[in-house]
Amino acid sequence: MAKEVIMPKLGMTMEEGEILKWHKEEGQEVKKGEVLLEVMSDKTALEVESNFEGLLLKRIYNEGDVVPVLETIAIIGKEGEDISGLLVKKDKPEDTPAQKIEETENQKQVAEAVEQVEAEEIGKPKASPAAKRLARENDIDLSLIDGTGPGGRIIEDDVLKFISQQRGYRTTPAAQKLAQSEGVDLDKIAGDGFQRIYKDDVLQHISGQDTTKVMTERLSGVRKTGAERLSMSWRMVPHVTLTAEVDMKNTLELRSRLNERLKETNKKISVTDILLKAIASALQKHPAMNAYLEDNTIHYNKDINVGLAVAVEDKLVVPVIKDVDKKNFTEIVEEKSLLIKKAKQNSLSREDITKGSFTLTNLGMFGIDIFTPIINMPESGILGVGQVKKKPVVIDDEIRIRPMMWLSLSFDHRLVNGAPAAEFLADIVKVLEEPELLLL
C-alpha cells in the first residue's frame, strides 16, 4: 500500500517548510532511513529521512515550494501501484467545511500533535497560517494579495511584499502596464527618489541604463528564515532589556586555574563555558525564565537547554547544549566545540537545534559592550554578552583597575515582570563575581 510522505513539523513554532532539494527522482528506490529531501525549517536547513521503503512514485511539490506542515509532499509505494486516489484527494479544494486531517504512520512519527483543522470559508483566498496571522496583525485584506505558493496559496512572503509595496514606491499606470508586458519585476527598480516609479524608470531598467547603481540580493534559505523569525519575534513579543556590569576578576582567575589543569588534554575553558554554567544556575532558581507561552498557557521546561548563537558566514544558527545544569565544564567544552564545528560544516541535525529553553549570544569579540538581543521564540529570554575590558572602578572607596563586562538581558514581559527578571540577572552577576558558588 502506498505511503504518504508529509512535510514534517521540525519545531514548535514551525508552520511551513521550504523544499530546498530532492535527493531522489521519481521512480528511484528509497530505503527506510535514507535522506529523501532537504527542508528549510523555521530555524535552519535539515535533512529529512524516509520512514518507508519502496519507489518514489510521485513528488507532489518541487524544489523552492513552501509547504504547510503535515501536508503530503510525496508518495512512496510499489512499482505500478495505483496512486490516483491519493492524488485526487490532494487536488480537492481546501475551502470546504471543517474536516479532520487523517494521521498517517509518518505523521505519528514526526508530528507532536495533529489538531483538527478548520478549512477556510468558501470564497476566501487560500493562505498559510503564517500569512493569515501577519495579515490579521496588519489589518490587510488577503483578497488584495496574489499568492505565489503552491496552487496560488498566499504565503507569508507575499504578505510581507504587499506591506513593503504599500509603504514603499508607487507605480504609475503606464509604468505598471509596461512592466507587466515586458515581464519586469518592479521590486528591482528604485524609481526617481520620490517614492514613485514612472514609465521612464522601467524603460531604463529594460535597456540596462538604470542609473541608480543599486545592487540587490534576494533573501533566501537560512537568511530568509532567520529574518522572518526575528521579525515575528519583535512584532509578537513585548521585549524589555536590562543591563548589568560584572567584575570578571574572579571568573578569569578560575578559568586560568582550570585551564592549567586541563593543559594536557588539549581542552580549553572559555568565558562562554562559564557563562553557560552561570545561566543554568540562575535558571534553576527562576523557572519562569526557562518557560514559554503557548495558547495563553505558560509551559515550564523541566530541562535546562541553552542555545548558543553562532555566526557562520552570512547567517546565524543557534545550536542547543542540552542539560547544561547536569554537565561539568569539560563536558560543556566538548559539546560546544562539536556543535560549533557542525555549524560551520552546515551539518547540524534537527536534534542539534531544537528543544532550547534559553539563548546566549556573545558579541564581545567584536568590541561591543551593550546591545539589545532579540528573543529566540518561543523562549522567554536571551542573554547578550559584551567584551571584557579593563577599567577603573571604585572598590571599598579606592580606585582599582578591574576586568569589567556588560550583560544585556532581553525577556518576554508577558511571562516575566521586571523585578523577577532583574533578580535573575543579578544571580548571574553574583555567580560570575563569586564563581565558587557553582560548586555548591
Active site residues per annotation: 413
**Residue whose C-alpha is closest to residue 307's, from 288, 281, 280:** 280
CA distance 194 to 62: 40
271-309 burial by CB neighbour count: b if 16+ within 10 A, else e?
bebbbbbbbbbbbeebebbbbbbeeeeeeebeebbbbbb
Other C-beta atoms lying within 10 Å of the C-beta of residue 109: 10
Give the closest residue to 30 by CA, choosing from 5, 8, 65, 13: 5
Q: Do residues 325 and 357 make contact, with C-beta atoms less than 8 angstroms apart?
A: no
Q: How far apart are CA 390 and CA 402, in angstroms?
A: 5
H/E stretch holding 147: none
Nearest to 354 by CA among 325, 383, 322, 316: 322
Residue 78 burial (10 A CB sphere; 0-12, 13-18, 19+): exposed
Cell numbers at 322, concatenated: 542540552
Length of the chain: 440
